[in-house]
Structure 1
């Protein structure tokens, strides 16, 4: 059998050797709360590249200190962050993998000391901190921070940028009518709610010339939230702005408990890919090679984002290859065990 999962794919000038992606996942490891890389990060990311993932993403990396999900997150708001991120990339590239960075701002879901910001002054939950409604100056400063984050990502030698527009973080808060109550040009109808992401994409393109992915929450699990028709509109707009792929997750905008089962978010990637005519990434309890192969072969998504399963097994790609009967070349140091 010719494997789809282990076939290459190209985005712009970047070719991935297979369709397996280590999904961005917070590691809460910056003990000095300065956003800088520590030895754990170097070992963590390189081990997944040695395991033969085609693309390895760092965790959500904050473009501003107040945009961290937690104070232990990685940052890219300062040039001092570049050197450590370069070291991560050296380890990833050493094994023939490509590297990605997820640029993020947590908005009202930031759990930090000091002020937090959102499109509207509405807390995530009643007992959470109340965010400040962003002024036009705050919005411009944040858009500029994404562009500067992209510049630093280029200097750190990342191959792909993903903008975090999912899980109820800042970009998602602007996109959703559940969280965006603004009455200016950044709120109201879906065209206006898209404006913030639109301007971020265009700003990032002034400092970055590589592929751009965007992660979205394609189901808000609330009857008054965005519908699939809205997400298809956003997808088509992103394609018009030369976004290369939409990474289709769900939830997090408001407190909700979705029904979780193997591949439970796959239908979003499938529908957006085939109705929005844009490449997509599938994520959400995709845990086996056979399951992932079916997704690629049936053209339901273009990449498989593996999260917790890859925390359990850094060599998930090897296990998937064994399931599918694919010969996978690993690090020469491991050849005795991989034969």
Structure 2
């Protein structure tokens, strides 16, 4: 049984504990001070070893525009600054050597010339938008191996403590190993052993170039039908160790895998059996597990129940840098909710990363936690995500804060999201934010609807009163139950209705929903429908516009709820509106393209305009759920003290919790410093 807080050996390096901060591309690697401040907080928060984001070993290995190439002279000063900051804080840092392979977007080089992606074979992936990678020649392979070696040597020059080689998640090395993406019949492909040759050669090249401890991160399971077998994976693990790796880190899945790997819907610790399979096969070699291990308690359980030497937590260190030290000290730690909105989604778009529940992430230098020189009395109205984050930031810096919430429980829309299937971490995060606020001396007042006139005695106020569901008129004879989306989620969770949701006949004593009609096509509508699907019969979703269902939501999680709906057989109709409900039958009008009138004659162009016709469709409905968006919940009256309105209370259009928490943080800094 291994204690997470004991030290262990990574080659020549003694690592002080067994909880690593896994690799995350930040998007601000070019800013040494910003990167230094970001890493320093994580060292102080207890990360035994920090692994940087993936730094490309050559120009054609970059994935998104803000990726960097290790060895670019212009980047040496900021990278060296971040290394020095980690060491000054008493920490250790490893650099990840990376090559995107076919996952590169074909980025322009320094001269603006597009660099086509390279791969073992010209096999594009489904999101490549027609870009087919160039098959690497013998000369290309030799050059890339030299670049891996050069990058390894340069990492040692910059002062890094260790190196991790990214050979997982479908990137170049992993692509060489898989029969799906390596179709070669030469010395670099044709059978499993030859497909693994590139991985062996990369590790050997880096090992020959530097004496730094070396981690090889492999894919424990590609989660791709027809890809590497379990035996292939275990053989690769053996071979990278024989080639010079001091430890093996285990990842899982590709970008194109049809199975979620790190999203909110994945149970905590879901991939430990994959990690353990590799660890059991490599006795005497440290193996590092990862993916959906979200807290120190979970890290401890993972280490106690497996032969892993260490575990890597990535996004939990975004949600709360204090994930280890805070837990050891008995403080409440804010959990990662697996939303991906400000981290993975930002990274995929070439934007700096941050965190929905901790918008200071990535802004530590600009927003330090220094104690306020002049403590102020701050009132925060609304304990949804914006109010909770704003109140916690103010109390952490010594201000006197009272947080008012009209409902008997904190969370607002974050609480409702926590009732969605697979999203219980959202509710856990809201409660953790509130507990941490109270631990620091904040005054939390629940179940009290505050008036603006009652805030006059404070120095400033943050108004984060959130949203209420948008109301729509329904022409119904009362033959079906009409619910707001909040009421529907409450009922699915076994609770009563909510005052804040529009109601028709109310849920009554119903426990099953029968045939379900959902009005709305945004992310909330899809979440609600996916949650209710197991409780319903026939399900239909309708939206007025032509946008895709759940458009505008996280690209890395949107497909999960939609997949659940398709599996359940749900109908999803665009350009549709409810006309009326009579005798438990909904009449819906749907605009559909009609066949172009007339045929083009000889020498005539075909008609370019496609007319639309309106179809009337009858749908059985026992329960109708309204999920057509939200509108601000505002307080009436005037307020003489400095104040700011944030989040949905300011603007419910395109409501986004990440935007709300970011606004709250910035507003609190403006209001009370």
TM-score (structure 1 length as normaliser): 0.89
- For 1:308 and 1:263, locate their aligned partners in 2 and report how far apart those are by CA, in whole Å: 14
In structure 1, the partner of 2:322 is 315
In structure 1, the partner of 2:431 is none
The answer to whether 1:220 aligns with 2:190 is no
In structure 1, the partner of 2:25 is 26
Pairwise mapping of residues 68-217 of structure 1 onto structure 2 (< 5 A)? 68-111=62-105, 112-113=107-108, 114=114, 115-125=116-126, 127-217=129-219
Give secondary structure in 2 for the equivalent of 1:4: coil
In structure 2, the partner of 1:302 is 309
* Cα root mean square deviation, aligned: 2.4
In structure 2, the partner of 1:59 is 53
- For 1:322 and 1:17, locate their aligned partners in 2 and report how far apart those are by CA, in whole Å: 17
1:27 shift after superposition: 1.4
Give secondary structure in 1 for the equivalent of 2:250: strand
1:157 shift after superposition: 0.6
- For 1:102 and 1:189, locate their aligned partners in 2 and report how far apart those are by CA, in whole Å: 28
1:3 shift after superposition: 7.2
Runs of 5+ consecutive residues of structure 2 not aligned to the other structure = 109-113, 332-369, 372-397, 399-438, 440-673
Question: Which digits, 9 at most, give the CA deviation of each residue in 1:154-190, with x for residues without a partner?
Answer: 0011111000001111111101111111111101211
Q: Is the alpha carbon distance of 1:188 and 1:323 closer, same or farther for their aligned partners in structure 2, counting shifts above 3 Å?
A: farther
- For 1:157 and 1:322, locate their aligned partners in 2 and report how far apart those are by CA, in whole Å: 31
Q: Is the alpha carbon distance of 1:323 and 1:286 closer, same or farther for their aligned partners in structure 2, counting shifts above 3 Å?
A: farther
CA contact (8 A) 1:28 1:70 kept: no
For the pair shown, which has the larger CA radius of gyration, 1 or 2?
2
1:253 shift after superposition: 6.0
1:285 shift after superposition: 1.2
Displacement over 4 Å in runs of 4+:
none
Runs of 5+ consecutive residues of structure 1 not aligned to the other structure = 31-35, 325-332
Q: Is the alpha carbon distance of 1:223 and 1:116 closer, same or farther for their aligned partners in structure 2, counting shifts above 3 Å?
A: closer
CA contact (8 A) 1:65 1:77 kept: no
Number of residue pairs matched by the alignment: 324
Q: More helix by proportion, 1 or 2? A: 1
CA contact (8 A) 2:222 2:257 kept: no
In structure 1, the partner of 2:254 is 252
- For 2:176 and 2:10, locate their aligned partners in 1 and report how far apart those are by CA, in whole Å: 27
The answer to whether 1:286 aligns with 2:293 is yes
Q: Is the alpha carbon distance of 1:56 and 1:92 closer, same or farther for their aligned partners in structure 2, counting shifts above 3 Å?
A: same
Q: Is the alpha carbon distance of 1:3 and 1:214 closer, same or farther for their aligned partners in structure 2, counting shifts above 3 Å?
A: closer
- Further displaced range: 175-184 or 216-225: 216-225
- Further displaced range: 270-279 or 185-194: 270-279
TM-score (structure 2 length as normaliser): 0.46
- Which one of 41, 44, 55 corresponds to residue 50 of structure 1? 44
In structure 1, the partner of 2:473 is none
- For 2:325 and 2:222, locate their aligned partners in 1 and report how far apart those are by CA, in whole Å: 34
